[in-house]
Amino acid sequence: MSDLPLIQADRAVPPPAATTSTGGRRRRLRLLSRTDRVVITLKVLVPLLLVTAFVWLPALATVVLSGTDWDGIGPLNEIDFVGARNYSDVVNIYPPFVPAIQHNLLWLAVLFVVATPFGMFLAVLLDKELRGSRFYQTALYLPVVLSLALIGFVWQLLYSRDQGLINAVFGSNVDWYGDSSVNIWAVMIASSWRHVGYIMLLYLAGLKGVDPSLREAAAVDGASESRTFFRVVFPVMRPINIIVLVVTVIESLRAFDLVWVVNKGRNGLELISALVTQNVVGEASRIGFGSALATIMLVVSLVFITIYLATVMRENRE
Amino acid sequence: MSRPRSQAEYLARLVPPSVAGINRRSLLAGAAGTGALLGTGLLAGCGDDSGSGGGSSKDVSLGSNQSDPKPKDVLAKVADGFKTSSGVQVAVNTVDHNTFQENINNYLQGKPDDVFTWFAGYRMRFFAQKGLASDISDVWGKISGYSDAFKKASTGDDGKQYFVPASYYPWAVFYRKSVWQQHGYQVPTTLDQFTALGAQMKKDGLTPIAFADKDGWPAMGTFDILNLRINGYQFHVDLMAGKEAWTSDKVKKVFDTWAGLLPLHQPDSLGRTWQEAAQSLQQKKSGMYLLGLFVGQQFSNDEQSDLDFFTFPEIDPSIGAKALDAPIDGYMMARKPKNEDNARKLMEYFGGKTAADITVKSDPTTLVANTGADVSGYTALQKKAAELVGSATEIAQFLDRDTRPDFASTVMIPAIQQFIKNPKDIDGLTSSIENQKKSIFTD
């Protein structure tokens, strides 16, 4: 759905000109038939309306609600505005908030430093057409396909303190999910387990697309394997690298499912997204307070989005 | 936060808890991801779209959270009974238990069914006060067989009744008779005896008190019972209603006492589910476990008769040991039922002896609230549980049913888990709770 406007982008430029009726442009407009114009207008309008209705308006509503103490009961006109109280409460008297921010950042760091490079590494290995490469590919990608229910189940079997495989095999007594200094790492391993497969597949697809003659040329020039990769293949794959980077950032910001499965994001597994859910969804209905958390999350995401866009735009200009 | 109440629900939970949780919550998780940005308006549509269709004068609709096979079946039988006695067809609209609970706000504000399942406690009174439920005092004039404690638990803040109790289960300290006989343990009646018993169990190589709080709610039971024993029922109610300060010495004493007992509790409780803790009792590794009657679900059928319990011992002689947590499930009537006459008739039927008899006959694991019911089918454990609750002077509903749900889930669960992690910093903990309480209990 989203690629349609892109395809039309070059042709979609003219329509705004239709309103500014300068002579030269009007002539260009005749290149487009009536049907073309209708189609283009629709193709711009429909996604625009959808995005506005389902992304921007709700986001705006969240920001507005974050200034209220609405509990989800009663008509909208009974909502009281409380100014920035929700924000000051979040920062000052809500104990899970600071750990949540730290955990989100930790999540980003681990995915970025460990999981993503490892996934890329596996992709490079699999690209070598090893024997049984199909099997490895499937095995590594499997975690991405599995439903959350199953993933929670699998890791519960491993991590349970009293009945889990890890403690049984090693005779250890670690409370993997309950000890708040350990559980974030335990969950991080589970999360990386999924992330690695995802990155591997993305990167493998990219590697398959690299022109083999580049490698041959490098080999003829006597470049070693690793030198070929870092000096030739890696730079060529810039679009994929950026996608991988963006995927990593997005995955770490929206990390939610695993901690929710484990203990609903409490006791050492606080994440902003889990806190938002705890407060907004369900019976709790602290909608104002939860919206304040959601707004903070939005701002944090905007920081990363801005950095990303700035980088991409600067590079495009060069 | 449903506690399983029947064999069927227990079977449904044989899958590990993490999995059992996600089936119901995966949708929620998805909704939440978008919900974070999408605000909340979109969720409004979730609960109420399948309301009662027809609304002919011969119909009455019932919104039910009894989504597990066994209770669902029982409810269907009760509904059939109503049809035979009154000729009115009940359209039962069953919604998954957790979904029902999580959407209750939107459900009641939308187009709710005429009658819906709910439980006694703060939330019931809250709906009554907000005008989301109907006064059914007249129904209470027609039904009999309820103790004063049950009537009190069905009464709103304005002194009128809004709720008809159907079933309940008590919280008590459970143990295996065989283990206790083997070691010659006696049921403790004071805190000192309780502590001494725990120490003896430790010497005998048992974990004295099985304990789990991974899901956040089971430890609330321990807080509740200590609070009821130390400060009494009225303080519990006022504290839960936000009228008492959490920084008071009374609350600190509860945490202090608990901190003294914590060494007797199973360690690393924050990674353990109640099922796992109950299994340690079942495997004779633990000596006792403070939990609801549903603990029996972790025991096989021939082990049931080995299971026994006692109510938590007295701490303050002037308060006694007569109050306890016994959450009550039952029915409420929506604010503007489409078919009010039939809805009232249905409420009366639910509160009557016939419905209770059908329930006892169809589901031998429930305790029915109506004392007039024929309970000859009860097991020894059920009989004892019914006697215990019958003799209770006051019945509390459990922390998360007796207070605002936002306070219970977003403040108390993390706070109690924090306490279990670090029982030393009681001052810091209570002042943190108090600060958050002030921000939540504003109106």
Say whether pLDDT at B100 is over 50.
yes
pLDDT of A318 reads: 67
Say whether pLDDT at B118 is over 60.
yes
User: Is A212 within a domain?
Assistant: yes
Per-residue model confidence as pLDDT tens digits over B383-404 = 999 999 888 888 899 998 899 8
Interface test mutation site (partner B, options A97, A266, A295, A305, max chain B beta carbons within 10 A): A266
Q: Which of these ranges, A164-168, B216-220, B261-265, has the smallest mean pLDDT?
A: A164-168
Across the interface, whether the CB atoms of A59 and B37 are under 8 A apart is answered yes
pLDDT of A15 reads: 47
pLDDT of B280 reads: 94
Across the interface, whether the CB atoms of A283 and B101 are under 8 A apart is answered yes
User: Is A14 within a domain?
Assistant: yes
Instruction: Assess whether B414 and B373 both reside in one domain.
Output: no
CA distance B402 to chain A (A): 13
Query: Could you tell me if B424 and B259 are in contact, meaning their C-beta atoms sit under 8 angstroms apart?
Result: yes
Per-residue model confidence as pLDDT tens digits over A49-108 = 999 999 899 999 999 999 988 877 777 777 888 888 899 999 988 999 999 999 999 999
Q: Which of these ranges, A53-62, A184-193, A206-215, B32-41, has the smallest mean pLDDT?
A: B32-41
Sequence-distant (≥ 6) Cβ neighbours of residue B95 within 8 angstroms: B47, B50, B63, B64, B65, B67, B103
Task: Return d(Cα A113, Cα B277) in angstroms, integer.
Answer: 38
Is B402 touching A (CB cutoff 8 A)? no
pLDDT of B409 reads: 87
**Consecutive H or E run containing B142:** helix B137-142
pLDDT of B314 reads: 94
pLDDT of B174 reads: 96
| Overall number of domains in chain A | 3
Say whether pLDDT at A21 is over 90.
no
Which structure tokens are listed for B310? 């006692």
Question: Domain range holding B346?
Answer: 7-168+328-379
Instruction: Assess whether B90 and B157 both reside in one domain.
Output: yes
Mean pLDDT of A180-195: 89
Instruction: Assess whether A112 and A237 both reside in one domain.
Output: yes
Task: Return d(Cα B392, Cα B225) in angstroms, integer.
Answer: 13
Across the interface, whether the CB atoms of A276 and B23 are under 8 A apart is answered no
Task: Return d(Cα B98, Cα B13) in angstroms, integer.
Answer: 14
State the pLDDT confidence band at A117, using cuts at 50, 70 and 90: very high
pLDDT of B395 reads: 87
CB-nearest partner of A263 from B40, B101, B214: B214
Across the interface, whether the CB atoms of A177 and B435 are under 8 A apart is answered no
Residue that is last in its domain, among A205, A226, A253: A253
User: Is B246 within a domain?
Assistant: yes
Instruction: Assess whether A136 and A227 both reside in one domain.
Output: yes
Instruction: Assess whether A112 and A79 both reside in one domain.
Output: no
CA distance B118 to chain A (A): 13
Say whether pLDDT at A30 is over 90.
no
Instruction: Assess whether B290 and B374 both reside in one domain.
Output: no
Chain B partners within 8 Å of A176 (Cβ): 271
CB-nearest partner of A285 from B22, B31, B105: B105
Instruction: Assess whether A181 and A143 both reside in one domain.
Output: yes
Across the interface, whether the CB atoms of B16 and A183 are under 8 A apart is answered no
Instruction: Assess whether A192 and A298 both reside in one domain.
Output: no
**Consecutive H or E run containing B386:** helix B380-390
Mean pLDDT of A224-240: 88
Across the interface, whether the CB atoms of A73 and B109 are under 8 A apart is answered yes
> Is pLDDT larger for residue B21 or for residue B420?
B420
User: Is A159 within a domain?
Assistant: yes
pLDDT of A74 reads: 73
Chain A partners within 8 Å of B439 (Cβ): 85, 89, 93
* Beta pairing partners, B308: B175
Chain A partners within 8 Å of B28 (Cβ): 277, 281-282
Is B110 touching A (CB cutoff 8 A)? no
Across the interface, whether the CB atoms of A73 and B26 are under 8 A apart is answered no
Is B413 touching A (CB cutoff 8 A)? yes
Chain position carrying tokens 């490892």: A118
Q: What is the 3-state secondary structure (H, E, C) of B286-312?
A: EEEEEEEHHHHHHCCHHHHHHEEEECC
User: Is B433 within a domain?
Assistant: yes
pLDDT of B392 reads: 86
Instruction: Assess whether A174 and A205 both reside in one domain.
Output: yes
Residue that is last in its domain, among A199, A229, A253: A253
Query: Could you tell me if A31 and A17 are in contact, meaning their C-beta atoms sit under 8 angstroms apart?
Result: no
Instruction: Assess whether B29 and B92 both reside in one domain.
Output: yes
| pLDDT over 70, % of chain A | 90
Across the interface, whether the CB atoms of A160 and B16 are under 8 A apart is answered yes
Chain A partners within 8 Å of B421 (Cβ): 180, 267
Say whether pLDDT at B408 is over 70.
yes
Instruction: Assess whether B296 and B185 both reside in one domain.
Output: yes
Across the interface, whether the CB atoms of B39 and A157 are under 8 A apart is answered no
User: Is A276 within a domain?
Assistant: no
Across the interface, whether the CB atoms of A266 and B130 are under 8 A apart is answered no
User: Is B395 within a domain?
Assistant: no
CB-nearest partner of A266 from B39, B414, B435: B414
Interface test mutation site (partner B, options A65, A81, A256, A267, max chain B beta carbons within 10 A): A267
Closest Cα in chain B to A297 = B36
Chain A partners within 8 Å of B270 (Cβ): 175, 177-180, 263, 267
> Is pLDDT larger for residue B99 or for residue B437?
B437
Residue that is last in its domain, among B362, B379, B396: B379
Instruction: Assess whether B25 and B79 both reside in one domain.
Output: yes
Q: Which of B:266-285 have CB within 8 Å of A?
A: 268-272, 276, 279-280
Per-residue model confidence as pLDDT tens digits over B210-238 = 999 988 899 999 999 999 999 999 999 89
* Average pLDDT value over all residues in chain B: 84
Instruction: Assess whether B342 and B218 both reside in one domain.
Output: no
State the pLDDT confidence band at B428, using cuts at 50, 70 and 90: very high
Task: Return d(Cα A119, Cα A125) in angstroms, integer.
Answer: 10
Region of residue A169 (left: phi > 0; alpha: psi -120 to 50; beta: else): alpha
- CATH, residue A184: 1.10.3720.10
Across the interface, whether the CB atoms of A61 and B15 are under 8 A apart is answered no
Per-residue model confidence as pLDDT tens digits over A51-60 = 999 989 999 9
| Overall number of domains in chain B | 2
Instruction: Assess whether B314 and B361 both reside in one domain.
Output: no
Sequence-distant (≥ 6) Cβ neighbours of residue B416 within 8 angstroms: B213, B216, B219, B220, B223
Per-residue model confidence as pLDDT tens digits over B130-156 = 889 999 999 999 998 888 888 888 999
Chain position carrying tokens 């009792």: B281
**Consecutive H or E run containing B164:** strand B164-168
Say whether pLDDT at A16 is over 60.
no
- CATH, residue B27: 3.40.190.10
ipTM over 0.90: no
Which structure tokens are listed for B351? 């509160």
User: Is A277 within a domain?
Assistant: no
Say whether pLDDT at B268 is over 60.
yes
State the pLDDT confidence band at B294, using cuts at 50, 70 and 90: confident
Task: Return d(Cα B330, Cα B340) in angstroms, integer.
Answer: 18
Across the interface, whether the CB atoms of B405 and A284 are under 8 A apart is answered yes
Question: Domain range holding A11?
Answer: 3-57
pLDDT of B302 reads: 86
CA distance A276 to chain B (A): 6
Closest Cα in chain B to A278 = B410
Instruction: Assess whether B255 and B197 both reside in one domain.
Output: yes
Across the interface, whether the CB atoms of B216 and A266 are under 8 A apart is answered yes
CB-nearest partner of B32 from A89, A96, A281: A281
Across the interface, whether the CB atoms of A178 and B109 are under 8 A apart is answered no
| Beta carbon pairs, A and B, within 8 Å | 185
